[in-house]
Amino acid sequence: MTNFVKQQFLVIYAALLIMSALVFSGAAHADANQDLPKVRFVTSEGAFELLLRPDVAPKTVENFLGYVEDGFYDNTIFHRVIAGFMIQGGGFTADMSRKPTKAPIVNEGSQTLPNLRGTIAMARTNNPDSATSQFFINVVDNDFLNAGVRGAGYAVFGKVTEGMGVVDKIASVQTGRQQGMGDVPLSPVTIKSVTKVSTED
């Protein structure tokens, strides 16, 4: 075997190794995504899906899925909507009655999951460990909400994977003041249901 042939063989062999590694990596990534829980929101403006990240925010995802499995979010509303910022829901019914919640959870804000467009994060008060059921979906990159920028930050625990256009549609509705609260949609944007999506779907 000449040196030229050997060199060609080594080049081809190296290329095959790289391709195999890429295929394996892609398959592993796909398998990892399949193992991550998904939820589907059906709203009065349409449907969208989220991929959750218990690998980064385990307590937050567990808390959120607990509310989902209890049917807590069904027939609640997006009660705070700010165009160019975020849409917030998970705490009020259409008549602006606040729903009773479970105990607050620890803040799992992390630089691993920043508040980028399409991500879902927990809403809270000034107390970092005060989040219960309310969440918001970022419609733009909101870097100032990230952990370490202004303290503990807001814990991101997933992202929209389908139906971001529906989220944008919700973000564009007209809002006003109702019962002392600002940025409330003038026509209720109802969350009809939130359900966990089977990995077999």
The whole-number pLDDT of residue 198 equals 80
The 10s digit of each residue's pLDDT in 93-112 is 999 999 999 999 999 999 99
Q: Residue 53 is part of which domain span?
A: 38-196
Q: What is the pTM of this model?
A: 0.83
Residue 13 domain-assigned (yes or no): no
Compute the distance between CA of residue 6 and CA of residue 1 in angstroms, rounded to an integer.
Answer: 6
CATH number of the domain within which 182 lies: 2.40.100.10
Residue 1 domain-assigned (yes or no): no
Compute the distance between CA of residue 90 and CA of residue 76 in angstroms, rounded to an integer.
Answer: 6
The 10s digit of each residue's pLDDT in 16-71 is 454 444 444 443 343 456 689 999 999 999 999 999 999 999 999 999 999 999 99
Residue 60 domain-assigned (yes or no): yes
Whether 181 shows a pLDDT value over 70: the answer reads yes
Residue 155 domain-assigned (yes or no): yes
Q: How far is CA 160 from the centre of its chain?
A: 6
The whole-number pLDDT of residue 150 equals 85
Number of domains the chain contains: 1
Pairwise pLDDT comparison (22 vs 130), residue with the higher score:
130
Is residue 40 within 8 A of residue 47, CB to CB? The reply is yes
